[in-house]
Amino acid sequence: MIELKQLTKKYGTKKKSTTALSEIDLQVGKGEIFGVIGHSGAGKSTLIRCINLLERPTSGEVWVNGVNLTALGKGDLQKHRRKIGMIFQHFNLLSSATVYDNIAFPLTLTNTPKADIKKKVSDLLALVGLEDHKNKYPAQLSGGQKQRVGIARALASDPDVLLCDEATSALDPQTTDSILRLLLDINKKFNLTIMLITHEMHVIQSVCDRVAVIHAGGIVEEGPVTEVFLKPKHQVTREFINRETTGADALKLALSTTNSESSKQVKITFLGAQTYDSLLSQIVRETGVNFAILQGTISTIKDMPYGQLLVSFEGEASNINRTITLLKERNLDVEVMN
């Protein structure tokens, strides 16, 4: 659905330029929710604006739904842009227009008949839960309601792709969760491809199927969210994940004080139904190894439950090794920390 080929964006002149994006290759499948996470200045906003050519790449190609947008003339590009919806961090609503007129705005630009506009806007108001607010102005709405208007407006032209530029970063946590649930609902109802950028790992963890981590204008890590979140390879990815977890200093202290010849510290990752099984207790009863939990988490990645335990096994080395082997045989991911 979206394919970026060697995408590069530079600002400035040939003599003095700044590279915002460097030779990025990326693919997003039909119906997928794809996240791009990065720190401020990493290039993520430039990346998403290059997809609909609000920013024209210096080199490389942008393909959307089988069409090379970078090869189109102005008229054809405008036509294909209508199939790419976009929602913004600060909503970008027309302050002097009602909710109804804000949502209708893209349709009025294409001379859509009034009866069709009325039907479409009514359907979208129901979808985003704003039927009772259609005659209000943006100043009368909360932040979450404004973003719902922005989402409805982005959907007015029946896009194939929805781009979300930091769509929840101006919202409080509870409102953020409600907007993320709405995006999930839209994705499921319409099989709509959604690409979102964010600096919040919680957003990625809640709704995305796959994620790319951007740093200094390049993609440093990419893959399924479960894989990237649970087995981060790049330091930048680890920083984002560590911000979402607690007790990092206490964990370092625990690891430093539990190290001995008769103990071994191990991180065990549970995924899916195994998260709620008693596999660990079953296996240590069989091997006779004692254990202490140093840190533990149970949560979800999108709809997938997962758990991570950092444990200290104590006992004879052979029994500890057998415990680790049995855990691996149960298809658990086991990482020895020392």
Question: CATH topology of 2-241 equal to that of 245-336?
Answer: no
Model confidence at 248, in pLDDT bands (50, 70, 90)? Answer: very low
Model confidence pLDDT, tens digit, residues 223-247 = 999 999 988 999 999 888 877 654 4
Task: Please give the share of the chain, as a percent, with pLDDT higher than 90.
Answer: 78
Rounded to two decimals, the pTM is 0.86
Of 243, 267, 244, 246, residue with least CA distance to 255: 267
Domain boundaries of the chain, sorted by first residue: 2-241, 245-336
Judge contact between 93 and 137, C-beta under 8 A: no
Model confidence pLDDT, tens digit, residues 162-217 = 999 999 988 999 999 999 999 999 999 999 999 999 999 999 999 999 999 999 99
Please state, in angstroms and rounded to a whole number, the distance separating the CA atoms of residues 102 and 99.
5
Please state, in angstroms and rounded to a whole number, the distance separating the CA atoms of residues 299 and 212.
21
SS3 assignment, position 33: strand
**CATH class entry, domain 245-336:** alpha beta
Mean pLDDT of all residues in 137-151: 96
Model confidence pLDDT, tens digit, residues 320-338 = 999 999 999 999 999 998 7
Question: Residue ranges of the alpha helices (H) in 85-234?
Answer: 99-109, 114-128, 143-155, 173-190, 201-207, 225-230
Model confidence at 258, in pLDDT bands (50, 70, 90)? Answer: low
Is the pLDDT score of 135 beyond 90? yes
Hey, which CATH number is domain 2-241, 3.40.50.150, 3.20.20.10, 3.40.640.10, 3.40.50.300? Answer: 3.40.50.300
